[in-house]
């Protein structure tokens, strides 16, 4: 494929991903079919990448690359341990409080941490960003630039979810406060995306950021659920 077509594919990937989570994923029908739709989108992204000339090796797959490796495993384990410690420290529990999960049952938690987040969120986002987009950008720019752009798009991807989280937790009172909160969320998620992209480049395997992403999202949800346990049972928080 020519460099011009490589560039077109990279630009189109940036545009499609930014629109997907802020427009398509904001529709009610998408939320009802979140996991299968995002799994299908991940498959479509892989098919588009293959058609563009990207190989399994470019995407971080292939022989010997299916496990996260030593660095990915270490970071994921440290993250999980950090969440466990936070959930067990009473003083840290207010930080974990999230009104969106107050009604979440044990069965709901199992579904979220075993199905919805791993398949509908982590696998989809890692294939789309650290797999396809980062590899596509790497064909037309340097590694540091590819990481920067991938991370920036990842931050923009989170505009709508950040706004929703702020509203759910009563933190979006007033336009100025909402805009500031969303901007901060974009910066934070872009920084997180940079860490994932760096790990992808450093390890040479997509499984490494997948493992870390799982530890952050699933561990964070489990820790928050544990921290809100007293509230769900109508008991005061431990001091």
Q: Tell me how many domains the chain contains.
A: 1
pLDDT at position 231: 55
* Residue among 123, 110, 114, 108 nearest 39 (CA): 123
In a domain, 112, yes or no: yes
In a domain, 239, yes or no: no
In a domain, 125, yes or no: yes
* Residue among 157, 166, 220, 212 nearest 189 (CA): 157
pLDDT at position 138: 97
In a domain, 237, yes or no: no
pLDDT at position 143: 96
In a domain, 238, yes or no: no
pLDDT at position 29: 94
pLDDT at position 236: 45
pLDDT at position 239: 35
pLDDT at position 116: 96
Host domain of residue 103: 3-232
Q: Which residues of the chain have pLDDT under 50?
A: 233-239
């Amino acid at each position: 494929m020519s460099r011009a077509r490589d560039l077109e594919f990279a630009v189109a990937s940036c545009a499609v991903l930014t629109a997907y989570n802020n427009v398509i994923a904001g529709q009610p029908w998408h939320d009802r079919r979140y996991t299968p739709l995002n799994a299908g989108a991940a498959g479509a992204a892989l098919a588009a990448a293959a058609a563009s000339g990207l190989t399994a090796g470019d995407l971080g797959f292939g022989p010997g690359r299916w496990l996260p490796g030593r660095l990915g495993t270490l970071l994921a384990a440290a993250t999980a341990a950090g969440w466990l410690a936070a959930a067990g420290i009473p003083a840290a529990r207010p930080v974990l409080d999230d009104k969106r999960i107050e009604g979440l049952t044990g069965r709901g938690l199992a579904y979220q941490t075993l199905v919805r987040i791993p398949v509908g969120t982590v696998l989809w986002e890692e294939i789309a960003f650290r797999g396809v987009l980062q590899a596509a950008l790497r064909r037309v720019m340097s590694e540091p630039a590819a990481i920067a752009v991938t991370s920036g798009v990842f931050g923009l991807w989170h505009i709508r979810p950040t706004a929703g989280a702020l509203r759910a937790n009563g933190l979006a009172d007033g336009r100025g406060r909402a805009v500031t909160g969303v901007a901060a969320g974009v910066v934070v998620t872009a920084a997180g995306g940079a860490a994932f992209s760096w790990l992808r480049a450093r390890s040479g395997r997509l499984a490494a950021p997948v493992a870390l992403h799982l530890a952050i999202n699933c561990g964070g949800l489990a820790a928050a659920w544990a921290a809100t346990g007293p509230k769900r049972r109508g008991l005061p928080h431990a001091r």
